Structure 1
Amino acid sequence: IGRKDAIPVSRSKDALHIYVKCSRCDEIIPVRISLKDEVQENYDTSKDKSYAFFVRKEVSGSGSNRCFARVSVYLEFDGQFKVIDADIKGGTFVEKAEYDASI
């Protein structure tokens, strides 16, 4: 993706929330990213690595569709935890409204 406006992220006190849709079974999966435990600081200070934090997370759905495929999410953040770059494999990012409509 690589476009920060294409990744709908909401934030609570100590976590980020995103929603991904599995490309195999179309299940929409809510993903919670803990700012204290899962986000890592970028110690590589080279010019091409200008992000402050990043997270890499593998998620899978409930299995209710007999699908246990994994969706791989990689996000890069600035110092204020705003998404500046993203990559997803095995799925797509979706809005919370689409998740709410699916449950």
Structure 2
Amino acid sequence: MGTPKGVENGDYEYYKENQGITKSYYLIFILSLLISIIGGSLLGWWLHKYHPTNRQLWMVPFSLILFFTPVIVWLSLIIPDLFSSKNEQEDVYNMNQRIHPLDGSLCALKR
């Protein structure tokens, strides 16, 4: 089968791992889109069939939850990624700094 074009032999394992992640993201995106469509369709059905008589009111919050929950979940996954630092070396440097307690604090070493 061979390696895909543009991918060198050393990067093939990384490429295979990212392909699996990308496929799972597509699957999750399609499923969440399907859930939103079901919620919107249920709300439209209630509007068409039951709204004039105001019956079956339980369908309204249920369909709104189905309609908006995937949107909220995707926004909560995408927005933090937009504001995260892309410089991994700077992140490692910031994590490795030691914290020294103030003199006279409860954590200060007794000498």
Structure number with greater CO (CA < 8 Å, separation at least 6) is 1
TM-score range, shorter chain: under 0.3
For the pair shown, the structure with the greater C-alpha radius of gyration is 2
The structure richer in helix per residue is: 2
TM-score of the pair, normalised by structure 1: 0.22
